[in-house]
């Protein structure tokens, strides 16, 4: 399959991060999570991390110029003809516009934006039971997919924690932020003929099958 450049859109907790990891393994694409990138910058106490920290903790969006700079620079460092999945970026129309310009300058185009559709009830249920490895970012779920040893990552032995922004009070802000600032991207990519949708409510395996179908249909 020729290299593909994809955007995974969807509310927090829709499982797009899980599917980005799966699809990157399956199709040899680089999964680029804007949230993981920011959390790593915060952990490293970098300049970008310090700019982003207050927003990430509050569940609001980091300023467009900060995240766009970080993500375009990461894309620019990929070897030529590398396919990728953008997970969590863009999240506003101005970010999508800057991405389009940045890619055009580098002679690249997006092949599809895949929207992960799911209702709010399921989102909250999934996020409050979500846990992540503080070292490698692997995700778990205390109810459906706990680590084998409590609090310890199966993959790297790192500490498995709850993200500060996965607590119930912050989730509400994140969902509102999504509706107001990110949902308009569905229309943005639909108008450009790039939108595909998947039903993100079933368990991960069934969602993966749908996503594989959408990617394979791109040719």
The residue among 217, 195, 207, 205 whose CA lies nearest residue 7 is: 195
The residue among 217, 215, 186 whose CA lies nearest residue 14 is: 186
* Whether residue 130 lies in the annotated active site: yes
23-62 positions binding ligand AMP, by CB under 6 A: 34-35, 38, 55-56, 59, 61-62
Report yes or no: 160 and 140 within 8 Å, Cβ to Cβ. yes
Which is the catalytic residue, given 16, 22, 39, 51?
16
147-176 positions binding ligand AMP, by CB under 6 A: 165, 174
Closest approach of ligand AMP to the CB of residue 113, in Å: 13
The CA distance from 51 to 126, in Å, is 28
Closest approach of ligand AMP to the CB of residue 87, in Å: 7
Q: Is 137 in the site for ligand AMP (CB under 6 A)?
A: no
Q: Is 15 in the site for ligand AMP (CB under 6 A)?
A: no
Which is the catalytic residue, given 4, 5, 130, 131?
130
List CB contacts of 46: < 8 A, sequence separation 6 or more. Answer: none
* Whether residue 4 lies in the annotated active site: no
Q: Which of 88, 137, 147, 158 binds ligand AMP (CB under 6 A)?
A: 88
- Residue 40: strand pairing partners: none
- Residue 133: strand pairing partners: 160
Q: How far is CA 177 from the centre of its chain?
A: 15
Closest approach of ligand AMP to the CB of residue 99, in Å: 10
Peptide bond into 187 cis (omega under 30): no
Q: Which of 89, 140, 188, 189 binds ligand AMP (CB under 6 A)?
A: 89
| Residues that bind ligand AMP in the complex, under the rule CB under 6 A | 12, 34-35, 38, 55-56, 59, 61-62, 67, 88-91, 95, 165, 174
């Amino acid at each position: 399959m020729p290299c593909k450049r994809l955007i995974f859109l969807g509310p927090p907790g829709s499982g797009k991060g899980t599917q980005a990891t799966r699809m990157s393994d399956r199709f040899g694409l680089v999964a680029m999570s804007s949230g993981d990138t920011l959390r790593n910058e915060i952990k490293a106490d970098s300049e970008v991390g310090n700019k982003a920290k207050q927003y990430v903790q509050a569940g609001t969006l980091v300023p467009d110029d900060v995240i766009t700079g970080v993500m375009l620079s990461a894309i620019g460092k990929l070897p030529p003809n590398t396919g990728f999945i953008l997970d969590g970026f863009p999240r506003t129309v101005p970010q999508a516009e800057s991405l389009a310009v940045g890619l055009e300058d580098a002679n690249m185009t997006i092949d599809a934006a895949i929207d992960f559709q799911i209702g709010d009830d399921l989102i909250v249920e999934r996020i409050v039971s979500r846990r992540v490895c503080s070292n490698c970012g692997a995700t778990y779920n205390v109810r459906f997919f706990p680590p084998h040893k409590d609090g310890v990552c199966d993959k790297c032995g790192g500490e498995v924690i709850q993200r500060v922004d996965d607590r119930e009070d912050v989730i509400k802000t994140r969902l509102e932020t999504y509706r107001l600032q990110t949902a308009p991207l569905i229309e943005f990519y639909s108008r450009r003929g790039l939108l595909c949708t998947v039903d993100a409510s079933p368990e991960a395996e069934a969602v993966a099958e749908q996503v594989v179908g959408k990617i394979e249909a791109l040719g």
